[in-house]
Structures are given as structure tokens and as C-alpha cells.
């Protein structure tokens, strides 16, 4: 019996996800992979992009017998009810996209797969199908019964976690309560230990306001909410520093750190993506499974052209295998 494979969901079928999955047959991978997708869509996309691949349909029970290095792509089939044309979204296919995630997550929960890697999906078309959907992270939390998932982006030795994710900016200050920030920081510290195997992780916490509030002159949240939570962690003997102004936290002058906790999406991710776009990886912390993902969207304009870069997906596969300890 081989090592437990990784499972990959191909994401939005009209986007670049299917061809990114196909491209992995050309790569030296650390583990066998299984893709959950529509085999017919993959076959057509292989023709469109000129990727020579042998697509083999399997069931989850057959995954244990797979070995890395095979030129075939093993696929657990999920059929799309509407035809798929590269670059053209169709809400009728949204339920099947979500079903592929359910199958992959269940396989991770029951031990069939060592980790989950997700290609990009299109949130708008899922909502257009009548499903209230805010993103992969929240949906995976619902499937696994996780009370608080935390988004972490990784690019080399830079790790950036988010205290809030897909919220309008005007809602962020009210969202960041002491309890919520305490819980996010605890998940981050716990998974840096558990999944990244860092015995004594060091975390820098960003302030919310410019200059971390400038002593209350530019906002009170830094002193009233963030600093007391940081002080609690320090009192417990944990290596947590902050709040630091965000324009300081990401500089060499901030000193060593294993991760930076940003207060909101566009505080942390522009720096991360500037440093590592194309090979950055999204990791969901707090889940009972390992999940990594690409750092980009569906790129509908590139779908079917053969021009999509698989660097981020390849990095996500390699990091997933590393976190799984395989």
C-alpha cells in the first residue's frame, strides 16, 4: 500500500483549475494525487491545451493503492449538469463544484487522503446559483464543524495570517473584539506548533490603525482591544509582540518572526502577494484536516489557452505534503 495521496479539487470548471490539475502530470510530486472533477471536462481541456494525459476514473476506496510518479491522472468523477466552455460561467454547475469539495473533505476526515489542495473557484457564480457562499475557508469550516478557521498565506519564510477575512473595510473595527482576536491568535499559535512543527513560534501582531493608533490619537482599537490581548499571551509565556504599525511589522527592523497577524485582508495580503505572487500558498488553520490552496483566482481569460502558470498550485501541493509529514 502506498502513502496516502493528496486530494485536489479542480474548482470552477470554466476557469484555469482543470488545466492546472492536468499540468501536474508533468511534475515530480512528493505524493500521489487524486483530482475530484468532471473527467469529460478534463479530457476536453487536455485537448484544448495540448496536455498529453491518461485520465483514469477511480473511486475513493482505490486511492490507497496509488503511487507517485505515474503519468496518469486519477480522477474521482463529479459530473457537471451543464456543458462547460472555458471562460464562460454557468450557475447550473455550482452545486457540482460544492459537491466535489464535500467528497474531498470527507476523504480527508476518514483518512483516505493526507491533505486537501484546492484550485480556485468563482464565488460570484455560486452566489448566482442561490447559494450564500463567501469562500472556500468558510465553506470548509462548515463542512468540518470548525468554529473559527483562520486564513494564513505563505510565501517562502513569510507567513501572514488574517484576523478578519472577507469583510467590508467599514465593518472590520466592530468585528475585532477581544474575544475574537484572542481566538484567532490562539488558533494561529496552535497550528504553527501542530502543522508547521514550530515548538516556540514567534508572532508579530499588526495594529489596526495607522501608527498602531498613535497613542489613541488615530483610533482607540489598538490600545483598547489589540494590546490587552497581546499582553495576555505574553503573560502566558508566549512569544507574541504588538501591536506594531503594519508599515513596520513587515520590515527587517521588526526583527525575527514566524508569522505576522494582520487585522484585515488588504493590510496583510498586498505585501505577501508582492513578495511571492505565483508561488504563494493559502493555508486554512483551525481545521481538523490540512488544506492548502493557490493564491490566485480563476483567470477566466486564460482558461483553455495553455498559458496558465501552475507555480502556485505546485507550491500548494508541496506544502500540503510537507505539512502532512509525508
Same-domain check for residues 43 and 70: yes
Same-domain check for residues 176 and 211: yes
What's the domain count of the chain?
2
Handedness of CA 17, 2, 104, 326 (dihedral sign): negative
**Could you tell me which residues come within 8 angstroms of residue 113 by beta carbon, excluding any fewer than 6 positions away?**
4, 5, 6, 7, 34, 63, 104, 107
Average pLDDT, the chain: 93
Give the CATH number for residue 310.
3.40.718.10
Same-domain check for residues 23 and 139: yes
Q: What is the mean pLDDT of residues 217-227?
A: 94
pLDDT in tens, 109-167: 999 999 999 999 999 999 999 999 988 989 999 999 999 999 999 999 999 999 998 88
Q: What is the mean pLDDT of residues 306-310?
A: 92
Which DSSP symbol is given to 245?
A: P
pLDDT in tens, 157-208: 999 999 998 889 999 999 999 999 999 999 999 999 999 999 999 999 999 9
Same-domain check for residues 271 and 311: no
Same-domain check for residues 142 and 291: yes
Same-domain check for residues 76 and 202: no
Tell me phi and psi for residue 167, to 5 degrees.
-125, 145
End-to-end CA distance of the chain: 14
Q: In what order do the strands lie in the sheet with 54-57?
A: 54-57, 72-77, 33-37, 6-9, 115-118, 291-294, 281-285, 150-155, 158-162, 259-262, 202-206, 239-244
Question: Judging by beta carbons within 10 Å of its beta carbon (0-12, 13-18, 19+), is residue 277 exposed, middle or buried?
Answer: middle
Same-domain check for residues 131 and 250: no
Same-domain check for residues 5 and 43: yes
215: how many CB neighbours lie within 10 A of its CB? Answer: 9
pTM above 0.85, yes or no: yes
**pLDDT class for 1, splitting at 50, 70, 90?**
very low
pLDDT in tens, 49-104: 999 999 999 988 777 666 655 678 999 999 999 989 999 999 999 999 999 999 99
Same-domain check for residues 139 and 198: no
Same-domain check for residues 128 and 161: no
Same-domain check for residues 15 and 128: yes
Place of cell 469550516: 141
Our CA dihedral for 13, 129, 151, 7, rounded to 10 degrees, sits at -40
Same-domain check for residues 264 and 193: yes
The pLDDT value recorded for residue 188 is: 98
Domain carrying residue 159: 147-284
Amino acid at each position: 500500500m502506498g502513502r496516502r495521496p493528496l486530494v485536489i479539487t479542480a474548482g470552477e470548471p470554466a476557469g484555469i483549475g482543470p488545466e492546472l490539475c492536468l499540468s501536474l502530470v508533468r511534475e515530480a510530486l512528493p505524493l500521489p494525487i487524486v483530482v475530484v472533477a468532471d473527467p469529460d471536462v478534463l479530457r476536453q481541456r487536455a485537448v484544448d491545451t495540448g496536455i498529453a494525459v491518461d485520465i483514469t476514473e477511480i473511486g475513493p476506496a482505490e486511492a490507497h493503492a496509488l503511487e507517485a510518479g505515474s503519468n496518469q491522472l486519477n480522477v474521482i468523477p463529479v459530473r457537471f449538469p451543464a456543458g462547460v466552455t472555458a471562460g464562460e460561467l454557468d450557475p447550473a454547475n455550482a452545486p457540482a463544484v460544492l459537491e466535489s469539495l464535500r467528497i474531498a473533505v470527507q476523504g480527508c476526515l476518514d483518512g483516505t487522503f493526507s491533505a486537501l489542495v484546492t484550485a480556485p473557484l468563482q464565488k460570484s457564480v455560486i452566489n448566482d446559483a442561490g447559494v450564500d457562499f463567501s469562500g472556500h475557508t468558510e465553506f470548509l469550516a462548515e463542512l468540518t464543524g470548525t468554529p473559527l478557521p483562520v486564513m494564513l498565506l505563505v510565501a517562502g519564510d513569510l507567513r501572514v495570517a488574517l484576523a478578519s477575512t472577507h469583510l467590508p473595510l467599514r465593518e472590520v473595527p466592530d468585528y475585532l473584539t477581544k474575544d475574537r482576536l484572542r481566538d484567532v491568535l490562539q488558533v494561529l499559535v496552535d497550528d504553527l506548533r501542530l502543522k508547521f512543527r514550530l515548538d516556540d513560534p514567534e508572532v508579530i501582531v499588526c495594529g489596526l490603525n495607522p501608527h498602531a493608533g498613535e497613542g489613541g490619537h488615530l483610533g482607540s482599537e489598538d490600545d483598547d482591544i489589540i494590546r490587552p490581548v497581546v499582553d495576555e499571551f505574553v503573560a502566558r509565556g508566549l512569544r507574541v509582540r504588538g501591536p506594531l504599525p503594519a508599515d513596520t511589522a513587515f520590515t527587517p527592523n521588526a526583527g525575527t518572526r514566524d508569522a505576522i497577524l494582520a487585522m484585515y485582508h488588504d493590510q496583510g495580503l498586498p505585501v505577501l502577494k508582492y513578495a511571492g505572487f505565483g508561488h504563494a500558498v493559502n493555508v486554512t488553520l483551525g481545521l481538523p484536516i490540512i488544506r492548502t490552496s493557490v493564491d490566485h483566482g480563476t483567470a477566466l481569460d486564460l482558461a483553455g489557452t495553455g498559458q496558465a502558470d501552475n507555480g502556485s498550485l505546485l507550491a500548494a501541493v508541496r506544502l500540503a505534503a510537507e505539512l502532512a509529514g509525508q
